[in-house]
Amino acid sequence: MDEVPPDAAAADALVLFPSTNLRYLTGYTEEPGERHFLLFVTADADPVFLVPELSGEQVRAESVVDDVRTWADDEDPVAAVESVLAELGLAGDDRDDRDADDAPPHVLVDDAMHARFTQDLRRALPSATWGLASEVLADLRVVKDDAEIAALRRAGEAADAVVRELRRDGDDLVGTTEAELATHIEERLVANGGTGVSFETIVGSGPNGAMPHHTHGDRTVEAGDPVVLDFGTRVDGYPSDQTRTLVFGDDSPPEGFREVHRVVREAQDAAVEAVEPGVTTGAVDAAAREVIEEAGYGEAFIHRTGHGVGLDVHEEPYVVADGERELEPGMVFSVEPGIYLSGEFGVRIEDLVVVTDDGCVRLNRTDRDWRTD
Ligand code: CO
């Protein structure tokens, strides 16, 4: 007989690892490492943070969790994990007293937890059933509150400021390499109030622009090259993600570029126009895709129309063909159709939008034309 997995809401415990889920719930940021660094959340008891001794003081100061336990480098972290699990009634002798029905616990683990830690949990809870933290957290994270939207807006403003500088300085940028231009962009993002980059900066010049995830290389940007510029930074942990496709210098862009850029721009406008509460992600994708297909470039639009943006640059909701998720006020996602002509050039135009009660507002407000000043 097949076992029916319990539904997420009936989970007995959530175990998190250094991740954006952990940051979302506790306010604490940590790089994932080789040491056991776990947060245990159950319905009946206060959350327990089990962290390496060297992190104890910092976690107590910076997280909202009161019960912070530590293990030292000369101790066995697995024994510490087992003792927390027993205390929370998930394993060991306490369990029989807590659960009259004696059903095995259903445990949700962080989607980003390294396998070595999930294996320790499996060994400690051999009869448990398992799910992913996102089963309960994705629906909380998908709708942004005012503070999150404010941070996303400020991150967008930092990226927009850099786009304006690139337009203004356009002709001076001819003759630089993609990598030099990426470094320049990254410096300017920080100068405009951002912290670091939210993903590896994309400077796709000429034929490199036809590869959507080309980052940057040693190709020199020539006058008349279309350049796909997709970059962002972070403010209070929240990222920006926007794309403009610009042409620097006085030379004409390649044949067909003007038409392709016009089609992408119309597709992007059509998709943004389609956004309102109750509309499905699939309908937003279709609004962009139809414009591109009708212009004859359907085969050259080789990715989904967008992705949700929050603490993760790619998260729910995904704006994908036939997507059934209905939009709600407070959701934030990218609208970024593109056309990629192999060996020639690519065009992508991307803004983040936040869904409002009757439509959406864009978090990126710079000109979407390809011409620079
Ligand atoms: Co994006």
Tens-place pLDDT, residues 68-86 = 999 999 999 999 999 999 9
Distance, CA 315 to ligand 1 centroid (Å)? 10
Residue spans of the domains in the chain: they are: 8-141, 146-362
**Do 148 and 236 touch, CB atoms closer than 8 A?**
no
The two tokens of residue 171 are: 């002709």
Confidence of residue 7 (pLDDT cuts 50, 70, 90): low
Instruction: Collapse the DSSP code of 174 into the 3-class scheme (helix H, G, I; strand E, B; otherwise coil) and give the result.
Output: coil
* CA–CA separation, 258 and 261 (whole Å): 5
Q: Where are the alpha helices (DSSP H) in the chain?
A: 20-26, 56-62, 77-87, 94-98, 115-124, 134-141, 146-168, 178-191, 257-274, 281-294
Question: What is the maximum alpha-carbon separation in the chain?
Answer: 79
CA of 318 to the centre of ligand 1 (A): 11
pLDDT at 212: 93
Residue 220 CA to ligand 1 center (angstroms) comes to: 24
CA 306 / ligand 1 centre spacing (Å): 6
pLDDT mean across residues, the chain: 94
Q: Which phi and psi (to 5°) does residue 140 adopt?
A: -75, -45
CA of 248 to the centre of ligand 1 (A): 23
**Residue of 263, 261, 339 whose CA lies nearest to 300:** 339
What single string gives the DSSP state of each residue in 225-289?
A: -EEEEEE--EETTEE--EEEEEE-SSSPPPTTHHHHHHHHHHHHHHHHHH--TT-BHHHHHHHHH
Question: What topology does CATH give the domain 146-362?
Answer: Creatine Amidinohydrolase (3.90.230)
43-72 pLDDT, tens digit per residue, is 889 999 999 999 999 999 999 999 999 999
Q: List, in order, residues 6 or more apart from 313 with CB less than 8 Å away.
A: 198, 199, 232, 239, 241, 307
Rounded to the nearest angstrom, the distance between the alpha carbon of 333 and the centre of ligand 1 is: 8
Compute the half-sphere exposure of residue 274: CA atoms within 13 Å on the CB side of its CA. 23
Tell me the pLDDT tens digit for each residue of 182-213.
999 999 999 999 999 999 999 999 999 999 98
Cα-Cα-Cα-Cα dihedral sign, residues 352, 319, 139, 91: negative
Same CATH fold assignment for domains 8-141 and 146-362: no
Residue that the structure tokens 């941070």 belong to: 151
pLDDT attached to residue 166: 96
Handedness of CA 168, 224, 244, 197 (dihedral sign): negative
Q: How many residues does the chain have?
A: 373
Provide the pLDDT for residue 103.
81
Q: Report how far ligand 1's centroid is from the alpha carbon of 184 (Å).
A: 20
Interval between CA 313 and ligand 1 midpoint (Å): 7
Tell me the CA–centroid distance for residue 241 and ligand 1, in Å.
Answer: 5
Question: Rounded to two decimals, what is the model's pTM?
Answer: 0.92
The CATH code that applies to domain 8-141 is 3.40.350.10
C-alpha 129 to ligand 1 mean position (Å): 35
Q: How far is the CA of 159 from the centre of ligand 1 (A)?
A: 13
Q: How far apart are CA 181 and CA 220, in angstroms?
A: 10
